[in-house]
Every structure is written in structure tokens, then in C-alpha cells.
Amino acid sequence: MSNKKIHTGGVALFNGILFSSDYRQVIAQRKDNSIKCQSNNYTGEKSIISSIPILRGIFGISTQVNNATPEFINSSGQTSKNNKKIMYIYLLLIIICISIPVIISAFFKENVRNIIQGTLILLEFAIYLVSIKFTDELDTLFMYHGAEHKAVNTYEDLGEEGLTVENIKKHSRFHKRCGGNFVVYFMILTVLTVFIPVDNLILKCIVMILLTILNVGISYEIVCIFSIIPKPFDIINYPATLIQYLTTKEPTDDMLEVAMYGIIASVRQKNGIEINKYINKYIKKNLSNKEYNIQDIYAILEYVTKTNRNMIFLNKNEMLLRINQEIEADKLLDKYYNEKYPLQYITHKQYFYKEKYYVDENVLIPRQDTEVLVEKAIEYIQNEKLSKIIDLCTGSGAIGISIIKNINVENSSIELIDISNKALSVAKRNAVSNGVYNKVKIIESDLLSKKIEEINNNIDSDKIDELKVDIIISNPPYIKTDVIPTLQEEVQKEPLLALDGGKDGLDIYRRILKEAREVLRKNGLLILEIGYDELDDIKILIKENKEYKILESVKDYGGNDRGIICRFLSK
């Protein structure tokens, strides 16, 4: 966008702001704790009326009222679709407000009628002001009105680049072009019309009503003239601006954020911002003193736009990020860089062992280091033709699904077991998306307790053997409880249930070694992921369970101890 600032203004709603500029009308609202902007571009040439003084005010105000009133009513929880009916109501109110003082003045002497009419009109206005002051339901509306003024003041002062919540907060909630100022000038002109030299009260009433149309245009011109007065002479605006002490209130930061995005959407010539401009803008505004990886930014933009990041990169100078996408991108990037939220939880995507997996806050994020265990499991399964498998503490299901998807053993199947129902929902989703759901059984269980119960409830030895499995692989919680608070902030965002291994980190291993004896077939395999510093402790634990023989330990790609494989010899 050029440095030229686009003229813009707004109308406060009960749940947001309606902004209008030379380009479009934008309704910015907060719904379900997120901000949404609805834009309607103006089409066609401007009317010649828009350049004629007084007429442009009459036309502009009537158009704004026509466009804004339905949205204003809808924002209050009511519904409005008939614009013409609304305009007729406004017209009727004007007729009533002018007619009542004229009618009442008929009961007074002719030489004081003008004074009575003017006084009653002012009294009507005063009643209106008092009523809005003591109507608590309007507080939110007035706060959004204040947010609108602050945002417009900031834009006029600093341009689009200066539109941040912090900058907007510093600006005044009063504005020279406020509709309240217009109302004050309109009321002054309306009061002056009582002095027109017409004796017939009916005729005078008609003339005053007709003159209100002219007063609209003149009031608009007064506002325009006073709005360009240099700051040292702003005192001229103060009397009219006093009404804004009633019609505006200091907004919350959430309201300022709504105003910020609303005005941004309204002043841009295009229906969005080029990807490259957006990235540079975000980096300059938020990451100038932070380390960042541009690929992480592209990953989030890929998620927001639902467009492959390579296509985004190739078209970054032309591809537009629309305002609602920009709002989402800002929110997710802030979450990533400021809250240290894992990128995988933001994009809901993690690649693991050649496959793509959905992940969210309910599951541990699969790591590349765990892939060595998958490789080992596949190797043993293929060599020994093992077909019945359990992925214990499955989480996202990444380990088990990667195994079942990459083995070629007849009648192979896998049971994905976890104590968390939410985690199992993720595992089920991944089994479906990876095309192996027909080979997968989802079991909600506290470790192997449900499997053991099923086995113990059978008396048929053949059935029992059928229920038992050839191999159990597990990445259980193994971090010591007192170590968890020292982990990276990103890791601490992962489920505690999937991290906490107890005081010494071995609590779950003790249970698995005990329970696996009831579930593994003779010569079955147990493959466990371990912490990089736990190998010696795990070996001691396994040797205490004499039914197991350690076959080998496994190092990850970084050379750290990552797993141990043992064989179940007999019960």
C-alpha cells in the first residue's frame, strides 16, 4: 500500500465495529473467542453526488445509516432484514421529535413559541443523552466506539505499519469526525430552524421537517471542515466533542484487537496482503530480536492457507493472505514464538517414519529418535514372521501404524492401547488416514489390564493363545517427576500423562514387565523406548524379572541409548 492514508471511519456494534473506507465495508467482530472480518467491496464508479457539497453529506449519511443499522440491530441479538422499514422508522422519529415541540408551543403565546419549540427540542436531546448514560446495556457498545476512535486516530497518525494494540491503546478515544459531533451540529441547526418566520404551525412543522434533510448535509460539511483544522486550533471542536464523554468508553485490549484488524481490512486497496509482505511485516514487528526459522513460518502459513508451502514460496510476491487468514496466522505465530507452543500442535502435522500423522495436545509428539525402534521392530517381525502386535501407550498411534503399514506378514494385526480416550481418538484418525484401520484394534486400557482380564476370563487354551501376542512395543512415560519442570517450554506443553514416569522414571516399566508376562506368547518380544540415561537402570530391572532375556540395546541417530529389546522365555 502507498503511504497515502485512506479515509476511513466506523460504527460501533454490540460485538464489534463496522468500518467503511473508499474501498469496502468491513464488519469486524469477536465470535467464539476469535476475530472474524466480513468484507464487502464497493463496485462501480463513484456517484457524481459524492463530490457535491451538502448533497454528498445527505447521500453519504443516508447510505451509512442504511448499511449500518441492520448490522447494528443484528449485533444486539435481534434480526433485521427490511432496510426500507428501518428508514421509515427513522423518518417517523424525526417527524415526531419536531412535531411534538411545535404542537406543544401552540398552547403558548405567539411571541414565545419559537423559544418553547427550541427549548423542547433541546430537552428531547437532553433526555436522549441521560437515557444513554444510564443504560448499562450500552457499555459494550461505547467501549467498541472508543476502540474505533483509537484505531482511526492511530492509523491517521502512524499509518498501517503503526497499527498495533499497544500503539492504539496510547491514542485518544475522541475523534473529530465522530458521528456524535455530527449529531451536535445537527441539533444546533435544528434548533435554529425554529426561528424561521412561518406563523402557521402546520406549515412550520412541514418546513422544519424538510429542512432536517438540508441540516444533515450542512452538519456533514461542518464536521469535514472542522476535521482538517490544525491541532493547535482543535479547541474549536471541543464543545461538540463533549458528547463523546458519554458515547465512548475506554475499551479492553480484546476490543482494540478487533478494531485493529477491522481498520487494516478496510484501508487496503487489495483484499489481503502479499505473503512476502506479511512475512516481512511479522518479522519486523515481532521477531527482530528473536531467533526464528523461516521454514516454521511457512509451515504455519501452509496450515492457514491450506496451500503447499512450495507453492506459497514460489508465489509469495503475488499470493494474497486474506484478512481472516492473517488474523489466524498472527494468532498461531504468536502462540509459537511467544507461548513456545509446539509447531506440530499448531499445524496438527508430524512426519514420522515416512508417514504423515495428525497430532494435537492430547498426544505426545512422535520424535525421529523413536524411528530406530520402529526399524528394529519391523526387522524382528519380518525375520520371525510375527503377526500379532501391541503398541502400548500408543498416543498418536505413530509407532504401531508405521509398523503395520511397513511389514509384509500374513494375517498381521496390531492393537493400539492407551489409557487416554482422547489419545485413542487421534490414533484412530491416523489409522484411517494411513489406510490401515482394517488391521488395527483400538483399546482403552490402563496399560495391559483390559487385555489380561480378557485372557483370564477364557478357559479355552486355544482361545487364550489366540488372545496373546508376539510382540509388544512401547514408548512409555519415563521422565523423572522432578525433572519435568526443567524441560524445554515446548516439551512441557505435551501431556503430563505421557511424560511422567514417577520419582525414578521407572514406574511404568515395572508395571509393563509384570503385566507383559500375562500377554506375550512364549519367545515373544518386548521392545521398550528408554531415556538416554536409563539403560543401566532398565537392565537391572529386566534382570530382576527372570522370564526376560535382553537381546540388545538400541542407540538413536544421535548416538544416545534409546531402546532395549528383550525376549520373553516363559511364564
For the cut 60, the answer to whether the pLDDT of residue 3 exceeds it is no
Residue 212's nearest CA partner among 31, 346, 61 is 61
Last residue within a domain, chosen from 266, 281, 304: 266
In this structure, are 403 and 532 located in the same domain?
A: yes
Taking a C-beta distance cutoff of 8 angstroms, is the pair 86, 80 a contact? yes
**Residue 159 CA from chain centroid, whole number:** 25
In this structure, are 129 and 226 located in the same domain?
A: yes
Grid look-up 509428539 returns 365
**Residue pLDDT, tens place only, 40-65:** 887 766 677 777 888 888 888 887 87
368 found inside a domain: yes
One-letter amino acid for residue 410 of the chain: E
Taking a C-beta distance cutoff of 8 angstroms, is the pair 72, 27 a contact? no
348 found inside a domain: no
In this structure, are 308 and 402 located in the same domain?
A: no
In this structure, are 107 and 203 located in the same domain?
A: yes
**Residue pLDDT, tens place only, 67-91:** 777 787 777 777 666 666 666 777 8
315 found inside a domain: yes
d(CA 340, CA 566): 38
Q: What is the pLDDT of residue 2?
A: 43
Percent of the chain whose predicted confidence (pLDDT) is above 70: 97
Instruction: Give me 148's grid cell.
Output: 474505533
Exposed/middle/buried for residue 405 (C-beta within 10 Å: 0-12, 13-18, 19+): middle
Q: What is the pLDDT of residue 1?
A: 37
**Residue pLDDT, tens place only, 355-404:** 999 999 999 999 999 999 999 999 999 999 999 999 999 999 999 999 99
Q: What is the pLDDT of residue 346?
A: 96
Is the pLDDT higher at 446 or at 50? 446
Q: What's the whole-number average pLDDT of the chain?
A: 91
3-state secondary structure 221-245: HHHHHHHCCCHHHHHHHHHHHCCHH
345 found inside a domain: no
Q: What is the pLDDT of residue 462?
A: 73
pLDDT-derived band at 446, boundaries 50, 70, 90: very high
The total number of structural domains in the chain stands at: 3
Q: What is the pLDDT of residue 92?
A: 85
Q: What is the pLDDT of residue 133?
A: 83
In this structure, are 78 and 146 located in the same domain?
A: yes
In this structure, are 313 and 366 located in the same domain?
A: no
Strands 388-392 and 548-555: unpaired
**Residue pLDDT, tens place only, 136-180:** 889 999 999 999 999 999 999 999 999 999 999 999 999 988 988
Taking a C-beta distance cutoff of 8 angstroms, is the pair 378, 407 a contact? yes
In this structure, are 334 and 400 located in the same domain?
A: no
One-letter amino acid for residue 415 of the chain: E
17 found inside a domain: yes
In this structure, are 367 and 332 located in the same domain?
A: no
**Residue 507 CA from chain centroid, whole number:** 39
Q: What is the mean pLDDT of residues 342-349?
A: 96
Phi, psi of 225 (to 5 degrees): -65, -45
> Model's pTM, two decimal places?
0.84
In this structure, are 373 and 487 located in the same domain?
A: yes
The sheet that has 548-555: what strands, in order across it? Answer: 440-444, 413-418, 388-392, 469-474, 520-529, 561-568, 548-555
d(CA 234, CA 96): 35
Exposed/middle/buried for residue 188 (C-beta within 10 Å: 0-12, 13-18, 19+): middle
**Residue pLDDT, tens place only, 504-556:** 999 999 999 999 999 999 999 999 999 999 999 999 999 999 899 999 999 99
In this structure, are 178 and 319 located in the same domain?
A: no
Percent of the chain whose predicted confidence (pLDDT) is above 90: 72
- The dihedral sign for the CA sequence 346, 352, 356, 359: negative
Structural domain harbouring 534: 360-568
Q: What is the pLDDT of residue 86?
A: 67
For the cut 90, the answer to whether the pLDDT of residue 252 exceeds it is yes
In this structure, are 274 and 262 located in the same domain?
A: no
Q: What is the mean pLDDT of residues 276-295?
A: 93
In this structure, are 234 and 364 located in the same domain?
A: no
183 found inside a domain: yes
- The dihedral sign for the CA sequence 185, 186, 187, 192: positive
- The dihedral sign for the CA sequence 503, 505, 507, 508: positive
Last residue within a domain, chosen from 213, 243, 266: 266
Q: What is the pLDDT of residue 393?
A: 96
147 found inside a domain: yes
CATH number of the domain bearing residue 380: 3.40.50.150
Instruction: Give me 253's grid cell.
Output: 485490549
Taking a C-beta distance cutoff of 8 angstroms, is the pair 13, 141 a contact? yes
3-state secondary structure 100-161: HHHHHHCCCCHHHHHHHHHHHHHHHHHHHHHHHHCCHHHHHHHHHHHHHHHHHHHHHHHCHH
**Residue 22 CA from chain centroid, whole number:** 28
137 found inside a domain: yes
Last residue within a domain, chosen from 240, 266, 292: 266
